[in-house]
Amino acid sequence: MFVPKPRANVRLPAVAGSFYPPAKGELRATVEALLADAKPSGQKRLIGVISPHAGYMHSGPVAASVFVEVAAAGHGYTRVLLVGPPHYLPVRGIAASSAKAFATPLGDVPIDTDAVALVDDRLVSIDDKAHAPEHSIEVELPFLQTVLGDFTLIPLLVGDASPQEVAGVIGASMDGRTLLVVSTDLSHYLDDATAKARDRATAAAIERLDYTTLGPYDACGFSALNGALCAGQERGWTINRLDLRNSGETSGDHSRVVGYGAWAICAAESAST
């Protein structure tokens, strides 16, 4: 079992060795191989993505279809606003971290502490206990480290905040250098046919920017996702599907699957954010 050594002010990896390889060389090779197998579709005005967060053996190819678009965009993002759900501890509103960096086997990702401090403190609080075991933020980082190199991070776990509240935080954080990453899986533990039907309906809601219908049975990160859809409605974004499948394709078990989807978030033609 991989057990990282504690370091002051650094949020250590919680799922290295289970969701992805714990060794730097193996992890880099795994991510690079997944990206090499994915083909960019040439999204224009890319400002964000929606990506799954399961173990790389299951959702890695779907996540790669997202991050190969980021690499191809060549936009020079220097900051990532990463929003996802808490799976282990409940969060009131939105939870930031007091850490100065989030670590993975590929190195440390520095937190934009100034940006975190500027976020509305009536809605966003520091909750290191919720962040410590959480994988929804962590599993996106090795992909981002590989395609972006150096960047700063705003990591937020979205609990019971409304779509409008989350959209406000997103809107306040986005600029021409910031990439939005929404981390979510789709349906959980349905049979293959039922899961595909539900995930197709979820995909349709995402693509029409409908933030009023999705709930916890549609996507574990529904609160973060609905906030992004609300922000998209306000700003004229479009959301384009890159991939949609489930864990049955990799596990071989079609009786109880988890859905994974990938989307590109693109700015309106007249705007960059």
DSSP 5-40: PP-TTEEPPSSBTTTB-SSHHHHHHHHHHHHHH---
Domains identified in the chain, total number: 1
- Percent of the chain residues topping a pLDDT of 70: 97
Task: Tell whether the model's pLDDT for residue 250 goes beyond 90.
Answer: no
Give the mean model confidence (pLDDT) for residues 57-83: 95
Give the mean model confidence (pLDDT) for residues 2-6: 73
Question: b/e string for 198-217 if b means 16 or more Cβ within 10 A?
Answer: bbeebbebbeebebeebeee
Domain that holds residue 111: 38-266
* CA distance linking residue 168 with residue 47, whole number of Å: 16
* CA distance linking residue 158 with residue 173, whole number of Å: 15
**Structural domain includes residue 242:** yes
* CA distance linking residue 64 with residue 26, whole number of Å: 16
Q: How confident is the model at residue 120 (pLDDT cuts 50, 70, 90)?
A: low
CATH number, domain containing residue 260: 3.40.830.10
* CA distance linking residue 96 with residue 94, whole number of Å: 7
pTM (two decimals) = 0.95
Q: How confident is the model at residue 251 (pLDDT cuts 50, 70, 90)?
A: confident
**Structural domain includes residue 185:** yes
Q: Give me the pLDDT at residue 117, please.
A: 77
User: What are φ and ψ of residue 213, in 5° steps?
Assistant: -115, -25
**Structural domain includes residue 121:** yes
Task: Tell whether the model's pLDDT for residue 55 goes beyond 90.
Answer: yes
**Structural domain includes residue 136:** yes
Give the mean model confidence (pLDDT) for residues 180-207: 98
Q: Which two tokens stand for residue 110?
A: 């520095």
Q: Give me the pLDDT at residue 114, please.
A: 87
**Structural domain includes residue 4:** no
The pLDDT mean for the chain works out to 94
**Structural domain includes residue 11:** no
**Structural domain includes residue 13:** no
> For residues 49 and 79, is the Cβ–Cβ distance under 8 A?
no
**Structural domain includes residue 9:** no
Task: Tell whether the model's pLDDT for residue 272 goes beyond 50.
Answer: no
